[in-house]
A and B are shown apart, each in its own frame.
Chain A
Amino acid sequence: MKNRLKVHRAIKDLTQEDLAKLLGVSRQTINSIEKNRYVPSTLLALKLSKVFEVHVNEIFELESGD
């Protein structure tokens, strides 16, 4: 699964730390999602879509192997 978290974060002009604080998670969690090392739960994905004011599908996208 690939994601556009970094792009949406840049649009909102948020650092990883800012976003982590908004979501109540660690900066390491945001960094791991951005680098595709961790797939977030549905709950966290929905919270991200709420912060960025876009649909979840605009942040996360399934790849052919998924």
Chain B
Amino acid sequence: MTTPTQATTPAAARTRTPIGAPGRLENDAKGGVGTSPQRPDGALKVTGEFAYSSDLWMDNMLWGVTLRSPHPFARIRAVDIAAALATPGVVAVLTAADVPGRNVFGLELSDQPVLADDVVRYQGEAVALVAADHPEIARQAAKKIRVDYQVWEPITDARAALGHPTWNRLHDHPAEDVELSRSAAAIHPKGNLVRHLKIRKGDPDEAADVVVRGEYSVGMQDQAFLGPESGLAVPDGEGGVDLYVATQWLHVDQRQICTALGLTPDQVRLTLAGVGGAFGGREDLSMHVHGCMLALHTGKPVKMVYNREESFFGHVHRHPAEMRYEHGATRDGTLVFVNCDIYFDGGAYASSTPAVVGNGGTMGIGPYVVPNVRIDAYGVYTNNPPCGAMRGFGSVQTAFAYEAQMDLLAAELGMDPIDLRVRNAMAEGSVTPHGQTIDSPAPVAELLQRLREMPLPAEPDGADIDLRSLPGGVANSTHGEGVKRGVGYAVTYKNVAFSEGFDDYSTARVQIEAHQGNPLVVVHTAAAEVGQGLVTIEQQICRTELGVENVIVHPKNTDVGSGGSTSASRQTYMTGGAVKLACEAVRDRILTLARDRTDAPLDDAALVDGNIVTPSGAVLMSIADAIGEAVIEETREHHHRPTEEIDPETGQGFAHVQYSFSAHRAVVDVDTELGLLKVVELACVQDVGKALNADAVVGQIQGGSAQGMGLAIMEEIVVKDGKIRNPSFTDYLIPTILDTPPMPIQVLEYADPHAPYGLRGVGEAPTISSGPAVAAAIRQATGLPLTRVPIRPEHITGT
């Protein structure tokens, strides 16, 4: 039996390898596609032996820290580093003037300075860097840097930043623009609009029997990953650098780092260090360029680790949103029109805002068929914390609004809310508001009907109270007094992979050789494992496609082509697809070698259990014998089918690769007098096309459901006047196990013919539909409209 290992195999040959750098992952788990083998890093993680990026270490390394702006909006008049630099133990203090290349980065728009050089646009923006031989010395020295700020009043309201003081009140009349009050109101030179997405479908003036209107808002959620931003930059002595870092897309990081450092990709080599969660919060750069700058400047390895408070300023958050919706329907409950205005507060820099607007807008009315649609979705610059990618990506916010509207409409019509949804549900062949025909199964109605048929949890019987089952838990705030139960439903759909014409391919390299008489496979991709289990999926696909047991996962680095982003629910689809293609190429070469050793026809041969077998299962020879002394290696790119940019005026176009569908039913007990909650049960039905790893699929649904629920009832970064008021896990609350209910889950597998194995991306959809279902249950229990999430106790008590 082999023990799971994470050996410290050198990933970058040009420099010494740090302690805690990732090694090859191997274990003796078995099982191909459709089984649930143990993950190769599972034992290491459970026993605490797995090295995370904050565990990286090299002798003689320096520690880097970041000085950040205390102000949301200010001009920097001067920076005096003399006192900091004179501190014993300090090796370097760097500012904007020291950025070797272009002082700019950004995922979609390059609009953010590596170090602020003129203006700071949010509280926490990086201004200067310190490297010292001890982290405490570096932190204390950073406090000695004197920055002379001319403080400006921040712009903190998204609609005000655009000069839209009013909502669109009529069908197709744009929001009123007013003159911005002063020139400083432009946070960026080209103004405060990042993107305005327009969707125009059908007749905006169509009349309806019944119209319901609502205004909704969603607070700023944090990814709340447990492993803080961290990494180690190692200079190679020849002007280049090796960076070990926890991230979501090594190659997009590499591109931005090269720009900022003025180096070429062969000079900037990245290796994925152990990642402690991501959820979108590691798509943007954090310490990457800063660490490399300090390493190249000092000639020494430099480690940077944010603490929990700094982490709240060190990554983007989920966009807060303000939304106004208008739904019109016939008396029998057929939707006639939907009009909506959606404002996403992108904060000070663009990050992923354009794509968030794209998703939020195109899928902004939910998985329903509506002939007449007007959507205006805006992404806006403000002086609030920058917002970007987070699981659900633009769709989480709108789902709270459109699903609340469906309940409102059902109440207005006197209809059952599930019946109303089923009547208007999308199906295969339906056309979206952006004019895309759904060309694979879309079981929206079935998801809802299955939920309705699932048994409800038992009502409390009043005897033998277990405080943990009540709102407030062991805090002993009720023994049942004031408690009412509500049940709510929500359904959603979400695009998988990148959209609107973007070719987000993945690359995989697969190698096979005979080792001690057995075939041994090494799979190498740059696709980030962030905890979701891609490393397991890569092994499973190799086992299935090559008929082998032993599959080693190579450390993820930039020695192989891009794996694309670990986001948009795309890695099993995209990198899994690339691994499958590379395996197929390897299989062809194995069969070619085998032809030298046999006269048997091999055109229909398969690789099974270490052997080459005929279609009838007869063993022709072992794979090891076929390979002999050869080492076979193939690298393949996997591109999904192309999509289109949408029309800038009508919003029409084939924008999305694939959709995933999920629905939730929430049962919530509400202490109506105190406004405290106990989510009793959160049931989910989701179509995943094909479950490559059933346990991992259920894990994704459980985690996504909890994260969506968290936004509905507690998770919010509270921002006032551009400043974060709760940058800690003391006051930014995420659900504990006592807040997280049992989750009955049904997984459907309606294959998507366009996708590898027919699979659909899983990770995001449950994050989208769970929160609206919880909110709906609380509304049912209380009878209150509750148009803002997170729902706080005082929203329920009215105090």
Partners in one complex: no
Give residues in A with beta carbon < 8 Å to B. Answer: none
Give residues in B with beta carbon < 8 Å to A. Answer: none
